[in-house]
């Protein structure tokens, strides 16, 4: 079994857990409040900005030119998506490249971003790519699964998780190419390095679930502080 097959086998329960999350269910049924949607929008746009740094590292640490070109192409798409997304945001939200950098990063987003950024110091595509590819895979799989569900056809719910006009799917799509790269890099890696790469992928899948959860509950440093300092306890996490 290739490393990517092993990873995907172990990632299935995480995919199912993400499908069942009330935020994901809320997208399907159109049952999320403007505040929940706003929290997600703000945090996710900042998350995608962090991904720019991860993809840069992937270009940087590529082990051949074809890899570097693929990551470069993915970066181009990332920046185009971010530009168009920012252009749609009102003044009260991050709406250009400079305001984007000032977005307050809330607890789970910070944890996920740091989990990804920590892989950069390995200088290894095999360690960096799974941290990023997991979120890509999760979003594409959730989008595919949602197509099989009866989902509301009103915006913003309708366009949720419809990423990239098919660029990600199929044998030549980004997801398969990322897995091909993971398998190629795994050939020259030790079992321990392979296990580390798998665990990094699975941790990203877990943090995907917590990212929905944070948006659903609107978890912020402020309400964490209130829970801790003012005794305004509730089962927040």
Residue 179 CA to residue 185 CA, distance in Å, equals 10
From residue 224, alpha-carbon distances to 23, 216, 217 in Å are 20, 15, 11
Closest CA to 168 of 50, 38, 81: 81
Does 169 contact ligand NSP by CB under 6 A?
Answer: no
Contact segment (CB under 6 A) with ligand NSP among 23-31, 47-55, 180-188, 219-227 equals: 47-55
Using the Cα atoms of residue 56, residue 58, residue 62 and residue 66 in order, give the sign of their dihedral: negative
Judged by beta carbon, residue 133 or residue 197, the one nearer ligand NSP is 133
Q: Closest approach of Cβ 140 to ligand NSP, in Å?
A: 9
- Which of 208, 214, 216, 217 contacts ligand NSP by CB under 6 A? 208
- Is residue 135 near ligand NSP by the rule CB under 6 A? yes
Q: Tell me which residue has tokens 């000032």.
A: 102
- The residue sitting closest to ligand NSP, measured at its beta carbon, is 135
Q: Which stretch binds ligand NSP (CB under 6 A): 46-54, 66-74, 181-189, 192-200?
A: 46-54
Q: Is 139 in the site for ligand NSP (CB under 6 A)?
A: yes
Does 136 help bind ligand NSP (rule: CB under 6 A)? yes
Residue 87: how many CA atoms within 13 Å on its side-chain side?
A: 6
Q: Which DSSP letter does residue 206 get?
A: H
Nearer to ligand NSP, 136 or 141 (CB): 136
Give the integer Cα–Cα distance in Å for 63 and 15.
30
# chain residues binding ligand NSP, by CB under 6 A:
9
């Amino acid at each position: 079994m290739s490393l990517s097959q092993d990873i995907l086998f172990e990632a299935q329960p995480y995919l199912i857990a993400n499908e069942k999350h009330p935020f994901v269910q809320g997208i399907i049924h159109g049952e999320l409040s403007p505040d929940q949607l706003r929290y997600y929008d703000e945090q996710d746009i900042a998350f995608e900005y962090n991904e720019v740094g991860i993809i840069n590292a992937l270009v940087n640490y590529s082990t051949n030119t074809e890899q570097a070109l693929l990551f470069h192409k993915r970066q181009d798409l990332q920046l185009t998506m971010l530009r168009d997304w920012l252009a749609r945001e009102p003044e009260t939200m991050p709406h250009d490249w400079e305001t984007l950098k000032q977005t307050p990063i809330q607890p789970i987003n910070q944890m996920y971003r740091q989990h990804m950024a920590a892989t950069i110091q390995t200088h290894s595509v095999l360690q960096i790519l799974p941290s990023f590819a997991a979120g890509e895979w999760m979003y594409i799989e959730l989008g595919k699964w949602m197509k099989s569900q009866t989902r509301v056809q009103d915006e913003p719910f309708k366009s949720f998780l419809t990423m990239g006009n098919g660029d990600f799917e199929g044998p030549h799509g980004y997801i398969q190419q990322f897995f091909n790269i993971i398998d190629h890099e795994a050939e020259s890696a030790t079992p321990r390095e392979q296990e580390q790469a798998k665990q990094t992928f699975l941790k990203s899948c877990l943090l995907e679930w917590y990212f929905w959860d944070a948006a659903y509950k609107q978890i912020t440093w402020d309400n964490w502080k209130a829970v801790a300092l003012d005794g305004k306890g509730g089962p927040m996490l």
